[in-house]
Each structure stands twice: as structure tokens, then as C-alpha cells.
Amino acid sequence: MIRTGFQVAARLGHRRALPGGPRVLPGLSPTSAFGSSVDSLVSIFCPKKTDLKDYALPNPSWCPDMLSLYQEFLEKTKTNGWVKIPSFKSNKDHLQGFKLPSTLAVTSDKDDSRLFTRCIQVEGQGYEYVIFFQPSQKKSVCLFQPGPYLEGIPGFAHGGSLIALVDEAFAKTAYLAGEGLITISLSIRFQNSIPLGSLAVMNIDVEKIEDQKIYMSCIIQSRDQQTVYAKSSGKQVLWPQFLSCHLYPQSKQKGGG
């Protein structure tokens, strides 16, 4: 049942792509997300109490570096305004706090899906990561420890596993920072491979919000910043721009766009 709404949006997207061809389909309500403040988005998106399992919590597979830096940032959530973004099994769970219009209602008749970056369930085997967000500075830090199932060249994380997590971290940060959610484009430049089981620290910044788009950058390094693993940049379309082109194509036409 639930997917119907998304499929409607997808079809609209196919009929009338945004200039430059953005990706279609978020699942948030215009009535709840349109024009919301960062604080209100954070309060809905990062509930302090929930029955849902949060996968962004320490487990025995975390290396000492990952654990100690996690504790450092956890302290910052108490004093410096940082927020730990919870990580649920599916984006459907993240959307539960939002009031959705009937055409985009999120109600699945089966629950066999998982968020890609949480696809491997055995602790330490795949993605171990946690994202902390700084609302006033509109930036994030993601702690990433790739497990042996993310391998590319033997002993090292697959470049694709890193790009995928950059995309995910961009999406979560962009939504909280400016209601961006749909990745339009992403570029990455690799410099060194990340050894499996070690910690990589991703610093994500919102560079600017302009022309209904949000521009992001990310540098991925070792904790001591002596090794740069990669640098990335990405662009997301804002939710209001998506809506105006995809859900209300006629009004968009009237507006001359």
C-alpha cells in the first residue's frame, strides 16, 4: 500500500524532470517539512526517546579510536549543541515523525527492506558508523569503521562503500540543515584506501544554499589528519523545489519555469 505514493511521485518525476535532471522522490509532507526550522527538523528527526533500534550505538566491534571519538562527540551533545543522529533500519522509520499527505503516505504492507548502509546486520562485519550534527554551524561529523564485508582491494575498504556512506551522510545532513534530501550530483576524489577495521573521520560541511539547492563538501581522513582518504562534494535539491516541479507541475508551468 505504502509504496503507491512514492510511485506516483516517481511517475510525475519521469514526466517532468527538474532542469538538470534531479533524482525523484522523497517522502516528506509539504505541510510538515516546508519552511521548517533546523531545530524543529532536528527534534522530529532525532527523537530522544523511541522504541526503534538505533544502529549508531557502540558495540564490541568498534575499535578503540572509534569508541573514544564517539565518547568525545557524545560529550559535545551535552554542552556544545551537537546532536547525535539516530540510525534506524529503514528510512521509513525516520519518516514516522512526519505528517504525510495521503498521496505520499508511508505505510508498507511488508517490511523486508533495509537502508543500504545498514544492510549487513552482524556487528562489525559491514558498516559501522555514527553521524553527529551541529545545527548552528550546519555541519556533521561521521565516524566510519568499515568491516571485512566492505572490501575492495584485499585488506581495504571498497571505494564504493565510502562513496555510498558519503551519499548517506550528505542526505541526512542536507535534510537537517536545509530540507535538502534528494541528491542531484556527487563527486569524489580518492587519495588513499581505508584499511578495514580502522577509523575514518568524515567532516561534512554545508557550503551554501542557493537557487533551491544545497551544496555540500566532505573530507575523509584518519583521526590524526595525517592521511587524507578522499574529498567529495555533492549537491542536493531542496524539498520545496522538488515539490514545485514534481507535485504541482501545472503551477510550475504557470510560473514560467
Between 74 and 163, CB nearer to its own copies:
163
Shortest distance, position 183 Cβ to its own copies, whole Å: 5
Distance CA 206, CA 208 (A): 6
Nearest-angstrom CA–CA distance, 227 and 95: 37
Nearer to its own copies, 141 or 171 (CB): 171
Distances, alpha carbon 68 to alpha carbons 72, 75, 107, 233, in Å = 6, 11, 39, 28
Q: How far apart are CA 160 and CA 139, in angstroms?
A: 23
The CB-of-165 to its own copies minimum distance in angstroms stands at 7
Query: Which residues would be at the binding site for its own copies (CB under 8 A)?
Result: 2-3, 6-7, 10, 13-14, 17, 20-27, 90-92, 95, 106, 108, 112-117, 119-120, 126, 148-161, 163-168, 171, 182-193, 195-196, 227-228, 230
| Residues designated catalytic | 167
For its own copies, the closer CB: 71 or 96? 96
The distance of closest approach from Cβ of residue 136 to its own copies in the complex, given in angstroms and rounded to an integer, is 28
Whether residue 223 contacts residue 211, with contact meaning beta carbons closer than 8 Å, is answered with no
Distance CA 224, CA 255 (A): 51
